[in-house]
Structure 1
Amino acid sequence: MDVQDRARGCLLGGAIGDALGAPIEFQSLREIRRDHGTDGISGYIATWRGEIGLITDDTQMTLFTVEGLLRADHASGSPAAGLGGAPVAESVREAYLRWLDTQDHHAPPPADRPHRTGRLREEGWLYSRRAPGNACLSGLRRPFPGPSPLGEPGPVNPNSKGCGTVMRSAPFGLVTRDAREAFETAAVCAQITHGHPTGYLAAGAFAAIVAHLMAGEALEQAVHRTMDLLAGYPEHEETTAALHAAVELAAAGGQHTPEKAESLGGAWVAEEALAIGVYCALAEPSVERALLLSVNHSGDSDSTGSVCGNLLGARHGAAALPAVWLRPLEGRETIERLAAELA
């Protein structure tokens, strides 16, 4: 399997999981079962707009992460260096400011600011609010003086560890086979909006797992190697504990249920979203069943679906994704174009 197929699978898989979970994001498991039966949803269901396959801010921000990385010289080997001397974090933050425009406007605003350039901002389908995270919005409205040393509170929203860091960070693992580089770059860029160490270290861990998968490693090995990497950073304990719990739960055997997924948390914070996504991807050998398990629970269903889908796509490639979910997926052409450019 080549790198491009894994990259394409990662971005498409994340978008599928996002679209599956979006309509039930704010429902409890009891409500999901009441409305859709004991097994919960079994595929896309219509949103309030009456459409299926619609993505949320998770995929929107992931695509702008890709655009930011495409503009940066990631081959420098340093998360602080970038194309023409511009930091990677600066390039990614400018991309997130373009995403913020899609939340504040109904169409591309005039190109009257330095960040308002590029092809992605011209795509009208992105100009739609899909329940964006408060920390992502507020963080981008504040100056970013630069990252703090890893393990210390970041300068923006220092008490926030929402899952908005994790759900957008898979692309950092697609641009390098060096897991430490992926980890540190993702963690630095997560500080643009979320300053709690767990919030940005969980994003780094997610990127590192993806980097290992892109190198052809099995998921369980990728998670264990990432926990080894995590142990070298201050304040890693919450993220390490969440990943350890996910691995242990998947290995315990028996039937894998929404109740087991919920035992890992509600996924509104970064380490819990990462843990649930990892658990579901490890527990179910079927891509389809893993994705459904990752969204049929009380909690942030679109984010856990997105994380699980990113992992499964990077591990198995785009061909493993159910065609019935690929066909109606919103933005598929753009996602595939960006995946090809990134790979």
Structure 2
Amino acid sequence: MSAAATAVWGRAEQQDFRARVRGALLGGAIGDALGAGVASLTLDEIRATHGQDGIGDLVPAHGRRGAVTAATQLTLFTVDGLIRAQVRRDTGAWHPPTDVHRAYLRWAATQRDWGPDERRKDNGWLAREEWLYTRRDPSRSTLVGLGDESMGTLEAPKNPTARDAGALARSAPFGLLVGWEPQLVCQLAVECAAQTHGHPTAYLSAGAFAVIVHGLARGETLDGSVQRALALLAARPGHQPVTDALKHALGAVRQGIPSPARIASLGEGHHAEDALAIAVYCALVGEDIRHGLRLAVNHDGPSETTGIVTGSLLGALHGETALPPAWLSEIEGRPTILELADDFAMEMTQGPALHGPTINSPGWLARYPRS
């Protein structure tokens, strides 16, 4: 993995980037929470419970309104791993997939432990957040893939038949590496997806999603970002199902007024490429973030998955200020998400001032230890 290019950030650029990072993480959490309340329901069951227009607001899930699922938990640990990778570059150890994998193992500990292990100072601050120590419907593939400390790779992936969207749903943060070239963003997302989801359509969907977010975080259009993802996919073995799904999503945009039937034509979302296609379609046709997210969660498939992917896209596209305040105020773990988003933005824009061969900021290294 090559090092990212060093960028010079002006104040306005830093503020825009931070807003897009916050938007992607908070937008994804909103979509996750909106879908969590109807995740196990068919569209007919959603309508029977919430009216003919389907769900239009946050409803209780996991004992509260605004609860997020494992998809958001894992997204946060992805961010944590990426920050740790940047910090560890000072030691000469530069292998981001390893640092992300270690972050995922820290998440796996939250699924089996009662609470934070205060003796593990090298865990950093995120793993000490007590609200994360709860199981929120992680996919079986994710739990199995992280069931031991061995790391799946593209040459020897974990769960080679796993085609669900578990890896896709956690992959938005790779796209926020705006100083990287798109092909490197894709490669990193693909390698990290293979740690739990070894089917080509699962890890290539994650790579395509990361490339799309990358374009949006750079201020590009959604359509243009999808086209770049398609171009990068074309050279990869096994890409055709993902390519076909994205092209189907783009074609559906031109077929009339958005509807659940149009979304159903893209699949139910149980496979990663279908979930990505639904999210891209909803982000493209949504009149605003509320509309796009409502479209994304009112269907037969895993609503929390299509919700988080759509929310991440729209948040990266429009930034934090476009997110619905009423929904935002109820999101579980919002202070943690904001703190992590700001840390990521600071690391990516001001990292050399925080740590380096001759610079040691004790506070920062306590939050993101090199070990």
Which aligned pairs between 1:151-300 and structure 2 lie closer than 5 A?
Answer: 154-177=156-179, 178-252=181-255, 254-300=256-302
Could you say if the C-alpha distance between residues 167 and 104 of structure 1 is closer, same or farther in structure 2, counting changes exceeding 3 Å?
A: same
**Residue 10 in 1 paired to residue 62 in 2?**
no
Pick the structure with greater CA Rg: 2
Give me the whole-angstrom Cα distance separating, in 2, the residues matched to 1:193 and 1:146: 7
Offset from partner CA, 1:88-113 (integer Å, 9 cap, x none): 1111111111111111122124646x
- Percent of counterpart pairs with the same letter? 46
Offset from partner CA, 1:24-47 (integer Å, 9 cap, x none): 001000000000000001110112
Give me the whole-angstrom Cα distance separating, in 2, the residues matched to 1:251 and 1:192: 37
TM-score normalized by the length of structure 2: 0.85
Of residues 259-268 and 163-172 in structure 1, the stretch that sits farther from structure 2 once superposed is 259-268
Q: Does the 8 Å CA contact 2:216/2:317 hold for their aligned counterparts?
A: yes
Whichever residue aligns with residue 291 of structure 1, its letter is: L
Instruction: State the superposition RMSD in angstroms.
Output: 1.8
Q: CA deviation at 1:285?
A: 2.2
Which aligned pairs between 1:1-343 and structure 2 lie closer than 5 A?
Answer: 2-49=16-63, 51-73=64-86, 84-109=92-117, 111=119, 117-145=123-151, 147-148=153-154, 154-177=156-179, 178-252=181-255, 254-343=256-345
Q: CA deviation at 1:176?
A: 2.7
- Residue 164 of structure 2 aligns to a residue in which SS? coil
Q: CA deviation at 1:286?
A: 1.4
Give me the whole-angstrom Cα distance separating, in 2, the residues matched to 1:176 and 1:216: 10
Q: Does the 8 Å CA contact 1:73/1:83 hold for their aligned counterparts?
A: no
**Structure 2: runs of 5 or more not aligned:** 1-14, 346-371
Q: CA deviation at 1:164?
A: 0.6
Give me the whole-angstrom Cα distance separating, in 1, the residues matched to 2:37 and 2:119: 34
**Structure 1: runs of 5 or more not aligned:** 77-81
Whichever residue aligns with residue 276 of structure 1, its letter is: I
Give me the whole-angstrom Cα distance separating, in 1, the residues matched to 2:197 and 2:97: 13
Q: Does the 8 Å CA contact 1:144/1:156 hold for their aligned counterparts?
A: no
Give me the whole-angstrom Cα distance separating, in 1, the residues matched to 2:279 and 2:243: 14
Could you say if the C-alpha distance between residues 145 and 312 of structure 1 is closer, same or farther in structure 2, counting changes exceeding 3 Å?
A: closer
Give me the whole-angstrom Cα distance separating, in 2, the residues matched to 1:217 and 1:74: 28
Q: CA deviation at 1:255?
A: 2.0
Q: CA deviation at 1:175?
A: 1.6
Could you say if the C-alpha distance between residues 83 and 292 of structure 1 is closer, same or farther in structure 2, counting changes exceeding 3 Å?
A: farther
The total of aligned residue pairs comes to 330
- Residue 18 of structure 1 aligns to a residue in which SS? helix
Give me the whole-angstrom Cα distance separating, in 2, the residues matched to 1:45 and 1:145: 37
